[in-house]
């Protein structure tokens, strides 16, 4: 039996990870959340170091998958202290207690640790974030790799999946532009690789299986879908899937966001590919599946 603690278990990625890991009867899942903690989820404030230490000491997990994060660049820019508290300092507490207990820690990071000027980024590429969100996650990475343990960092691009509201994902929130049929300018400058959380969850489960079987997994890893596209291009695909017009959307080929974004952070995923861990879900298939599993969202279009 492998005891696996998942932080951010009530979030977009965390829910998918818990669901995938629970499908293996050899796993015992310790799901942790905070603001949306409910039955079956331990309420744990990751910014309270003493509570984190005591919880891990009591539960004694073999693996910790650290999904919890402040993932919104604009929010991070406006409240950097809160972003650091979750993305860096909470990571420091987990790394410390995992080092003491012998648990393997997998830290979920972002392609935004790169500046977007030289894709495709290899796992050993130099980081140079252009916004505070990226920098806060980079600080978390430094904590993980500085722990002198065989911990791992998994960098991911923009995510979508089964959502409770469109706001949960930077991809599904774009659906609001389809509902509002007034003329709108949409970013057609920044290049992203929208990736399914269900696909990522399978990769994380495979990483844990490999680790528990004796494979050395430490340092930096990348996982990403192969599709690359702008927000405008994502909307064209989602509009076609939903039978909604995109004629009111105007592509803008210059930056449009309030917090600075990198142009193209496309990731090279060679290290996981060498372990036969690769994305297999194209955006058109993954987003259709995710929307079908999100009744609260689909009800908006009826």
Residues 191 and 266: beta-carbon distance below 8 Å: yes
User: Helix, strand or coil for residue 100?
Assistant: helix
Q: Report how far residue 169's alpha carbon sits from residue 159's, in angstroms, rounded to the nearest whole number.
A: 6
**Per-residue three-class SS string for 158-190:** CEECCCCCHHHCCCHHHHHHHHCCCCEEEECCC
Spatial distance between the Cα atoms of 98 and 64, rounded to a whole number of angstroms: 8
Q: Which helix H or strand E contains 220, and what residues bound it?
A: strand 219-222
Please give the positions annotated as active site: 133
Separation between Cα atoms, residue 268 and residue 280, nearest integer Å: 15
């Amino acid at each position: 039996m492998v005891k696996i603690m998942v932080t951010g278990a009530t979030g977009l990625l965390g829910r998918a990870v818990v669901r995938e890991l629970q499908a293996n009867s050899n796993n015992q899942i310790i799901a942790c959340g905070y603001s949306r903690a409910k039955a079956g989820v331990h309420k744990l404030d990751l910014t309270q170091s003493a509570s984190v230490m005591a919880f891990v000491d009591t539960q004694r997990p073999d693996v910790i998958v650290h999904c919890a994060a402040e993932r919104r660049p604009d929010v991070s820019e406006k409240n950097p202290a809160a972003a650091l508290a979750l993305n860096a300092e909470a990571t420091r507490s987990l790394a410390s207690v995992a080092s003491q207990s012998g648990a393997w820690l997998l830290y979920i990071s972002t392609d935004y640790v790169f500046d977007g000027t030289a894709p495709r980024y290899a796992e050993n590429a130099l980081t140079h974030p252009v916004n505070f969100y990226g920098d806060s996650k980079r600080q978390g990475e430094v904590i993980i790799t500085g722990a002198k343990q065989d911990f791992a960092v998994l960098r991911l691009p923009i995510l979508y999946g089964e959502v409770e509201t469109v706001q949960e994902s930077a991809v599904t929130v774009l659906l609001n532009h389809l509902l509002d049929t007034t003329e709108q300018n949409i970013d057609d400058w920044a290049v992203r690789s929208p990736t399914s959380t269900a696909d990522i969850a399978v990769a994380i489960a495979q990483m844990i299986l490999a680790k528990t079987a004796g494979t050395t997994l430490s340092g930096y890893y990348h996982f990403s879908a192969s599709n690359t596209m702008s927000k405008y291009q994502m909307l064209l695909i989602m509009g076609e899937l939903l039978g909604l017009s995109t004629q009111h959307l105007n592509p803008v080929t210059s930056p449009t966001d309030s917090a600075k974004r990198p142009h193209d952070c496309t990731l090279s995923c060679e290290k996981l590919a060498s372990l036969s861990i690769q994305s297999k879900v194209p955006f058109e298939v993954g987003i259709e599946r995710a929307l079908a599993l999100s009744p609260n969202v689909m009800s908006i279009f009826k």
